[in-house]
Structure 1
């Protein structure tokens, strides 16, 4: 029934990741609500927020992914319009650029579909296949780690205010964060092309918003790993791991020979998640960096957690310069 509406169709490809022998792409098929990423008028910001969350999904529809070598992969969207396409292939690195990005083309399988912008049934996508020169990977939180959100504010009112009433271009990155991440990306040699993965508890509805923020503030390009809104609202069982933890564990599984640096903040559950991961993979986690937040109670709790923690290095930082200094002394960066 979604096809009977007037809005054109689109396929949003989330920047994903894979290996030389495993292709893995995620994204979503939606009606194009024409969200204006440039207009900063308050009314447009409110309307855009509404459009991000009041989505018209294209459910249970077949899609194609065309690789640069003209190989076609098949996929299908679920009841929320999401797709996951996986395939075991060979020599995928031959299809990547020098940074490890593999570009591909998405389309609806039904060639008779015309309800796309300018009747172009073609949509770009890409996944990252880390370079063989990679020294380590970085898994970083977004909220209050590189982006001021106010996650520790009462009832998280600052998160709501910033997400609705602030344009991505006007959101403030934490001072020095982009420089630190570029140094980590370049690594000890200055040419390592270490992969950066941005992992957040935010819903996929904010994907393009966060993508614009990272691009506008000159952060290294990297996969953005979020969660579905249905999972965001669903009550978790006591033994179920947080989505952020699942994503990082999957990165460690996907790249068994690649150690990782984990970056987060001391405001929510990052310390607990990261330390648990380090306990499970003590030889794979090189360091944990935690941004200090302005919340006395939470800071006391985290300091108590890390005071006698010996499994891996955990550093609480007020400024990026502290993390840069530590990373340089430990041979992570130049």
Structure 2
């Protein structure tokens, strides 16, 4: 096998060295659990193993972390090639973390019934936490896949600054939700009890606790969150956000072949192209594509021009309907019409 990119090797060696130093000073392992999903046959469990000061290894750590500004979320150190114990109905299962401390595994679902459930996770020395898991009934045929930045959260920042600012500086209470989006998601899920809402974003996993707190405070429904790890990869300096989104959307289609998704994104970056390609490849897995249209000012901040990226516009002549609007209220009206088989003007549209 070829060797990993040198920056990835340097990062791993540095984390190992710092980890040894901090362990000698009493830092302890702690599991940060992420929201996952599954069905009666499997569960997808995602978490990270980190080192934190001994006083923060108590159960109060998570609550303290949520109150902090973003930069403090990056102070914990990942445990390289460590072990997280997943407690299942058939006994504990030890899962090895990657070089950044993460696990993302599919395990057999032994006893979890459809609905929101919890899976217990722990360090090898017994410090426990739990991950929320939505177990989807196999008869479910409706779901929502949603982007985050500029789709449900108004960022109003240059794209090059956005990730650093939101992750390192902004407290979640300072962010603004796109008007009407929370109501849109609540109404759709109320009409389809048990349907999944999955957030797919290029944001860092480090920000997941504060994002969850923000979404809860703005009354967004709970949903699994598929974020990404920043930093060097095995092949280069940075991960491709577009590839991450494309991969996760395809994975959801494979995991839930009976679900036809409502895909929600914005026209500031790659969402129209990603969703357009997906609808061409998996037309039977999509009900509607809904795109939030950014204002000219937001377009400038997103990519430097006043208009949506022309290169991202896809041929929409196929059978999957598309709707667009500047906020959740406008999208809601058009989406209801599309889901009922009509366009906003009252004409029939072709729906698969």
Q: Residue in 2 aligned with 1:220?
A: 221
Q: Deviations over 1:225-269 (max 9, x none)?
A: 1011136873468xx961011111100000011111110000011
- RMSD over aligned Cα atoms: 2.8
Cα 1:259/1:77, change in 2 over 3 Å? same
Q: Residue in 1 aligned with 2:269?
A: 268
Q: CA deviation at 1:196?
A: 0.2
Extract unaligned runs of 5+ from structure 1.
112-120
Q: Residue in 2 aligned with 1:84?
A: 104
Q: CA deviation at 1:308?
A: 5.0
Correspondence for 1:102 among 109, 117, 129: 117
Cα 1:59/1:172, change in 2 over 3 Å? same
Q: CA deviation at 1:306?
A: 4.9
Distance 1:243 1:315 in 2: 24
Cα 1:320/1:201, change in 2 over 3 Å? same
Q: Residue in 2 aligned with 1:181?
A: 185
The 5 Å alignment of 1:51-200 reads: 51-67=72-88, 69=89, 71-93=91-113, 96=114, 100-110=115-125, 121-132=127-138, 134-150=140-156, 153=158, 156-187=160-191, 192-200=193-201
Distance 1:18 1:102 in 2: 10
Distance 1:21 1:173 in 2: 35
Find the residue that maps to 1:207 and give its secondary structure: helix
TM-score, with length taken from structure 2: 0.77
Find the residue that maps to 1:143 and give its secondary structure: coil
The number of equivalent residue pairs is: 304
Find the residue that maps to 1:230 and give its secondary structure: coil
Distance 2:146 2:248 in 1: 11
TM-score, with length taken from structure 1: 0.81
Q: Residue in 2 aligned with 1:21?
A: 41
Q: CA deviation at 1:207?
A: 1.2
Extract unaligned runs of 5+ from structure 2.
1-19, 300-304, 342-352
Q: CA deviation at 1:38?
A: 6.1
Cα 1:86/1:157, change in 2 over 3 Å? closer
Say whether 1:299 aligns with 2:322: no
